[in-house]
Amino acid sequence: MPSARGRLAGTTIVIALLAWTAPASAQGVEIAPFGGYRFGGDLFELAAGQALDADGAPALGVVFDFPLWSGFQIEGLVSRQESEVLVPLLPSGLLARRRISVDQWHGGALQEFIDGPVRPFLTSTFGLTRYAADFDSEVRFALSAGGGVKLFPSSHVGLRLDGRVIATFVDASGNAFACTPGACLIALHVNVAWQAEFSAGVVFKFP
């Protein structure tokens, strides 16, 4: 199986080739491989099936932006977070090392507020979160929102500083109550796993 870094590198290369071959109307695509740290260990605990002393782990990924108008851009993001944790085995209580991963596949929009070498922005995306341990995995719907700044000392290479909050909808259930003929009130209970991510990346702009 290819490694996480290999898959991210492959994704970056494919996006770069698409950017180079894009028509004139689609010029200005930005590609930013990034690294950072993602806080929040709820998904790790769900993957392991028990409480863990893991508050977060590093994350790697790539984000790309496709410009439309007035600083508004379509944004796509792929990232992976991995960690090794010690899990007690029952009934012996011996500790076993398990690798847990959390993948994010998101699409959405980004709005820049200044056109210049310093570009503050806000972003919002939605997509899927996959959390896995050993041979078991789950995929759930997720939303994210955040912001940051892009710094462009040159026209084709820059720096992106980013922070975002990710909400993964782990489970949802509804119970009906106060029913009358033809209508029922529904009580909806949703479990959400929250994560916060801070990252930095190098932006490559393809004119």
Sort 93 into a burial class: Cβ within 10 Å, 0-12 / 13-18 / 19+: exposed
Q: Provide CB contacts within 8 A for 136, sequence distance 6+.
A: 47
Give the contacts of 173 (CB within 8 A, at least 6 positions apart).
188, 189
Are 165 and 145 in contact by the 8 Å Cβ rule? The answer is yes
Q: How far apart are CA 83 and CA 86, in angstroms?
A: 10
Q: Is the peptide bond before 91 cis (omega within 30 degrees of 0)?
A: yes
The pLDDT value given to residue 21: 41
Question: Which pLDDT value is given to residue 91?
Answer: 64
Instruction: Quote the pLDDT of residue 100.
Output: 82
In a domain, residue 54? The reply is: yes
Is 36 within the bounds of a domain? yes
Domain contains 201 = yes
Domain presence at residue 103: yes
The DSSP letter of residue 89 is P
Radius of gyration of the chain (CA): 20
Identify the CATH number of the domain in which residue 97 sits.
2.40.160.20
Q: In the prediction, which pLDDT does 54 show?
A: 67
Q: What is the pLDDT of residue 23?
A: 40
Phi, psi of 42 (to 5 degrees): -60, -40
Residue 169 domain-assigned (yes or no): no
Give domain status of residue 182, yes or no. no
Is residue 184 one of the residues assigned to a domain?
Answer: no
- pLDDT of 16 reads 45
**Does residue 33 sit within a domain?**
yes
Per-residue pLDDT of the chain (207 residues; tens, 9 = 90+): 445 555 555 554 444 444 444 443 335 899 999 999 999 877 777 776 666 666 788 999 999 999 998 899 999 999 999 887 766 666 666 667 778 889 999 999 999 998 889 999 999 999 999 988 877 788 999 999 999 999 999 889 999 999 999 999 987 555 555 565 655 555 445 588 899 999 999 999 987
CA distance 11 to 9: 5
* Closest to 149 (Cα-Cα) out of 116, 126, 124: 116
The range of the structural domain enclosing residue 26 comes to 4-163+197-206
Q: Does the global pTM surpass 0.85? A: no
Could you give the number of structural domains in the chain?
Answer: 1
Q: How far apart are CA 147 and CA 145, in angstroms?
A: 7
> What is the CA 78 to chain-centroid distance, rounded?
6
